[in-house]
Amino acid sequence: MDRSANSGNNKVFFLVLLVVVLGGIAFLFYLFQGHEEPSEEQRIVSGSIKIELPEEPQKTRHDKAGQAAEKKAKAARTVTAPKVEPSPAPPATAKAVAAKVKKEERGPQRARASKTPPILKPWAVHIASFRNENDARRLEKVLDRAGYNAYVTVFTSNGVRWYRVRIGFYSTKEEGAKVADELARRFKKPGAWTVRPAHSEVLAHMK
């Protein structure tokens, strides 16, 4: 039994030793095979093939200036727009000031005109019309001496200037008609009739 056991152990030992020796031989063969000098053809091929890596471009002053300008442009775009203040109104011209003053002056005048009380005697009597002013003035004087409030007004019709002789003023149309009849009998003026003159005419000749 002991011999058979020893012989089995020896076999295992020699088997392991054989494996180790073969492994060492294989390692040495691989090692020498890796350090084999390259052949002449391999040297020529490896010498003709050159792998050139791209060089990193050098940053010039121009590039740096361009980058700085781009940064400034970006900063300008990010800055908020300044608040624009409304421009002051232009100073009033002399013409505008004069127009304003004139408008202010008209205001009180219109107010006074609107507050003017109505005329209590708006009626008058038209006596005659003359193309010659001297004839109209002579009749005016005659009527004045007779105690009437006579006056002369001027108007133009179809390019002809006329001078009208009238007397006034009366509260009603009937009152004026009575005076017209009286003048027709007294001065032989049958053409007299009652009229309602303009407001300005009444104010200008009322006594």
Which SS3 state, helix, strand or coil, does residue 143 take?
Answer: helix
Across the strands, what pairs with 55? none
**Exposed, middle or buried by CB within 10 Å (0-12, 13-18, 19+), for 202?**
middle
How far the first Cα of the chain sits from its last, in Å, is 180
184: part of which helix (H) or strand (E)? helix 173-187
Residues of the chain below pLDDT 70:
1-8, 32-66, 73-98, 100-118, 189
The whole-number pLDDT of residue 207 equals: 82
Residue pLDDT, tens place only, 182-192: 988 887 767 88
Spatial distance between the Cα atoms of 102 and 96, rounded to a whole number of angstroms: 10
The whole-number pLDDT of residue 20 equals: 81
The whole-number pLDDT of residue 161 equals: 96
Spatial distance between the Cα atoms of 192 and 165, rounded to a whole number of angstroms: 10
Q: What CATH number matches the domain at 123-205, 3.30.70.260, 3.75.10.10, 3.40.640.10, 3.30.70.1070?
A: 3.30.70.1070
Tell me the backbone φ, ψ of residue 59, rounded to 5 degrees: -80, 115
Residue pLDDT, tens place only, 102-131: 666 555 444 343 454 567 899 999 999 999
Q: Which two tokens stand for residue 38?
A: 């390259």
Q: Are 163 and 129 in contact (CB under 8 A)?
A: yes
Spatial distance between the Cα atoms of 60 and 26, rounded to a whole number of angstroms: 58
Helices (H), 79-132: 94-115
Spatial distance between the Cα atoms of 52 and 43, rounded to a whole number of angstroms: 18
152: part of which helix (H) or strand (E)? strand 150-157
Across the strands, what pairs with 195? 124
Q: What percent of the chain has pLDDT over 90?
A: 34
Backbone conformation region of residue 159, classed left if phi is above 0, alpha if psi is from -120 to 50, else beta: left
The whole-number pLDDT of residue 78 equals: 56
Q: Where are the domains of the chain?
A: 123-205
